[in-house]
Structure 1
Amino acid sequence: MPNYCPKCGTQNRSGARFCVGCGQAFASTSVPSISHVMPTKPPTPTGGQVSPVNQMMSPVNSASVQQQIRSPLSGFNVVSINNISGPVTITKPQLSLADVRNQIDEWVAKQDKHWSSELTGEELTKHLGLVYAAHWILTGAASGNWSASIGVDRTIRIRCSKCSGRGTYRDKDLWGDMTDFTCYKCGGKGYDKSTETDWHSQSGVARGVVDQRIIENVANDTEIRCGRRDLKSSEHQLTKPYADDVFAFALESFDQKVGLAKAKEAVLAALESDASSVASGLGRVRNMRVGHVNIEHLDARTWLYPIYAGKYEYEGSFHLVEVDGMTGKMHIEVPKSIRSKRTTQ
C-alpha cells in the first residue's frame, strides 16, 4: 500500500521510514531520506513499442564499500552511508520536495519559445530524489619551534661611482673647454646610499589551528553543479545503524583515517604559515625550519549536505537536474537541441 506523508502529502513506497519529499520520519528517527535518485525510462503504454521498465535503485550492501548503486545512465551513482567510518553528522533540508517542484515549475514558466512544451515541471522532477553530498569537517592544532636566518637591512654610505667621492667631475663644456661640473649622481656630496643586509640566526615558537575546516569528500567523477553550499547550516549527529534508505553521492573515501590525514596536513600547513608570519615580522627570512612539533585535538568527521538530484529524458538523452536542499540554487541541464535553437534563431 502507498504510504502518504501526513506533513506534505508526498506518496512514499510501502514500508518507507522517511518521506522523500520533506524528510518527515515515519519511524523513531528524524533523519531525512531518499527512496531513489536515478531516473529510468517509463514503460510504454499498451500498443506502443517495448521500452525498458522502471528500475528502482536498491540499497547498497554495507559489507562492501566497492558495491555502489550505479544508474544505467553514465556519471551518476550513490552509495549507502553505512560504509562510512567515524562520526557522521547530517543536515536536514530546508526545502521539501514539494518546494523544489514549485521552484522548478516557476523556472519552466519563464523559459523562452524554444523550450519544449513536453518538458513540464512535472516531467523534470518526476525522478527527483534526496541525496547527500559528503564533506570532511577537520579540526586540530599543532605547536612547534621554528628557526631561521633573519636578515635586517641597513643603509650605508658608499663613495659615488661617478665623481669618485670628489663631488665634481671634469668634462667639456659647450665650447669644448674642460670644466669642473657638480656631480649629478650624488648632488655634489661625493657619496651615495646603498642597502646592506645583516644576517643572524633567530628562533621562536609557532602554533597552527584548524577549526572545523570543511572540504568536499566526493568522488572525482561526481560533479555537483548547483552552486556553492551553505557551509553554516546546522547539523546533528547520527548514530549507527544508519537508515537503509539514506544515500550519498559516491565518496572519495569512506575511511576516517583519510580524513585524519587531511586534518594533520592542514594543521601542519597552518603551523608553518604562523612560523613564517612571525619570522617575516622580524626581517627577511631564509632557511626556515620548524621542529619539535606537537599535534593535538586532531579530528575528522563526515558531514552530509542535502541535494535533490535526478535526470529527465528528452530526445533519447538524459539531462541532469540538481537543487540545493538548503539554498534552493539550481542546475537544470538544457538539452542540446534547445540550446542550438537559442543561438541560431
Structure 2
Amino acid sequence: MQWILLVAVLFLAPSRPAPPASHLFVSCGDGSLHSVALVNGLPGDSVVSLDLGEPLRFLATHPSLPIVYALGSEHLMAVRWNQASATFETLGKALVGISGTHVALDPSARWALVASYGEGAVSCLPISAEGLPQAAVGRMGGSEDKRLTRAHQVCWHPGGELAYVPALGADQVAILSVDPKSGALTWAGAAAVAAGSGPRHMALHPSQPWAFVLGEHSSTITSFTLQEEGKRWSRRGQTSNLSEGFTESGSRSSDIHISADGGFLFAVNREPANDLTAYAIGEDGALREVSRRSTGGIHARTFALDPQGERVWIANTRSKNVVTLTLSKTGELGEAGGSWEAPAEISCVLAR
C-alpha cells in the first residue's frame, strides 16, 4: 500500500520541468572536492576546489539544503555550496565507524547510511536539522557476518524505513529495516542474484515497483519486482550489459541509473569495454538496448544524469576526466565534445 500511495502522489502531483544542472560536483582520491560550472551543459573554466584532507569516496547531496556530503576514508563531511558566490564552506564532520565506500541519505534527510566494501558492514549516522552529520548510532555486518560481504552501495526505499545494500561478495541484495526514531538496523531479508555475478550497484524505478541490480563480475542487469511494500523481491529476468559479440575478458560493470521520467536505464562498463549503454524500459519493465557509446576514458566508475534528460556526465577514474555525452528523447547517446580534466583519480560525479 505504501508504494501504491507514493506512485499515486508522483502521478497526481503537478508536472514541473526539472531545472537544468548548473554544475558538477566531483570528488577525487587525493581528498579534493570540486565544483565545475556547466555552460550549455558542458564543463566550463570556472572551477572551485576544496581539500578535505582524506581520500574521498562517494558523494551525496541534501534534498533541500545546499549541502554536499563527502565520504572520506574515516569521516562523513558536510560542505555548504554557495552558488551565488561560488564558494565551498566546511560545516562539520562525523566519524563513520567503518571504512566507507558509499553513502546515501534517506528521503527525509534524517539519516545517512554508509556501506563499507572492505568491512562488509553498514553504518547509520543521524543528520541534524541543519544538515550536520552526527556520530554513527547503528551498525550491521562485519567480518563475522557474511551477509553483507563487500557491501558496495546503499539504496533507500521511497518510504524511508527500508534500505537495500548490494553485497558483491554475498551475491545478494540485503534488505535492512531502519528504525525511524533510533537509527537501529535490523535484518529484513535478502534478494539473491546468480552466483558469481557480484551485485555492485542498483537502481529503483521512480514510479513502478521495479529494481534493477548491476552485476560487476558478470556485467549483467538483473530485474526484480518489489512486493509487500518493498520487503520481498521476485526475480524477473537478466540482461547482458556487454555488446553483442564482445569476447574480451575482464570487463566489469560499475554504475547504473534510471532517468527521472522512468523511461530509460543506463549502465556503464569499465575497461576493456569502457562503454555506456542506454536501455528503453518497456511497460512491462523489460529492457531494450537503444544505444551504446564509449565513455571517452578509462575505468568509468560513476556517471551522472542531467535532470532535464539531455546530458550524461561520465567520470573516468584512471584517465582522470569527466566526459559529456548528449542524450536524445529517444535514448540515443551522442558525442558532446566537452570534458574536464581532474587533478587526481576521480571517485564520484554528481550533477546539480
Give me the TM-score of the superposition, normalised by structure 2.
0.21
Larger Rg belongs to: 1
If each structure's helix is expressed as a fraction of its own residues, which one has the higher value?
1
Give me the TM-score of the superposition, normalised by structure 1.
0.21
If each structure's strand is expressed as a fraction of its own residues, which one has the higher value?
2
